[in-house]
């Protein structure tokens, strides 16, 4: 899972958690129910057009707003392979890794077009726009954070550690 390839869906700056998953759907914590409504208020047709494995590319401050964990849970459950943004709200950044959703900061998101196919190499810290044959560098994710993603999030990581030590 160190390389992710998918079709790009573009969003702008300040995509808040209410745009990712509207508060009216927070009467459930079922990831599959949440996934049905992901990005609905930003693009009502998104979930119909989107295919699992696709990638969201956005501007500044993705995930701003409330600290709800529902936002990265909904994205992951919908099959979003990764989110690439110029910057992330601090609490969303941490919640995404805790939920096992890969996210990457890249200042050049304006250069990537919706519909293009991109490849993200976590270890190399590189995103390649396969349609434009152009590559972009980002700071690689630290190994521990890569482990969180590989395990599917913090809870699964903790369980794996306990199993490895024979404590469960």
The 10s digit of each residue's pLDDT in 122-157 is 889 999 999 999 999 998 888 888 888 989 999 999
- Among candidates 31, 11, 20, 25, which has minimal Cα distance to 78? 31
CA distance 46 to 23: 17
Handedness of CA 73, 77, 78, 79 (dihedral sign): positive
pLDDT band for position 1 (50/70/90)?
low
Q: What mean pLDDT do residues 25-42 have? A: 94
Handedness of CA 123, 152, 89, 77 (dihedral sign): positive
The 10s digit of each residue's pLDDT in 59-71 is 999 999 988 899 9
Estimate the crossing angle of helix 90-99 against helix 143-151, to 10 degrees.
50
β-pairing verdict for 103-105 and 55-58: unpaired
pLDDT computed for residue 167 by the predictor:
87
């Amino acid at each position: 899972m160190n390389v992710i390839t998918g079709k790009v869906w573009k969003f702008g700056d300040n995509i808040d958690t209410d745009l990712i998953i509207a508060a009216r759907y927070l009467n459930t914590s079922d990831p599959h129910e949440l996934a049905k409504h992901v990005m609905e208020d930003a693009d009502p047709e998104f979930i119909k057009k989107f295919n699992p494995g696709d990638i969201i590319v956005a501007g500044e401050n993705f995930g701003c707003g409330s600290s709800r964990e529902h936002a990265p849970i909904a994205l992951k459950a919908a099959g979003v392979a990764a989110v690439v943004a110029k910057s992330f709200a601090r609490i969303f950044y941490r919640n995404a890794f805790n939920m096992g959703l890969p996210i990457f900061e890249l200042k050049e998101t304006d250069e990537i077009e919706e519909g293009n196919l991109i490849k993200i190499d976590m270890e190399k810290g590189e995103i390649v726009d396969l349609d434009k044959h152009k590559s972009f560098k980002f700071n690689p994710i630290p190994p521990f954070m890569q482990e969180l993603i590989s395990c599917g999030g913090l809870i699964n990581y903790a369980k794996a550690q306990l199993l490895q030590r024979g404590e469960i």
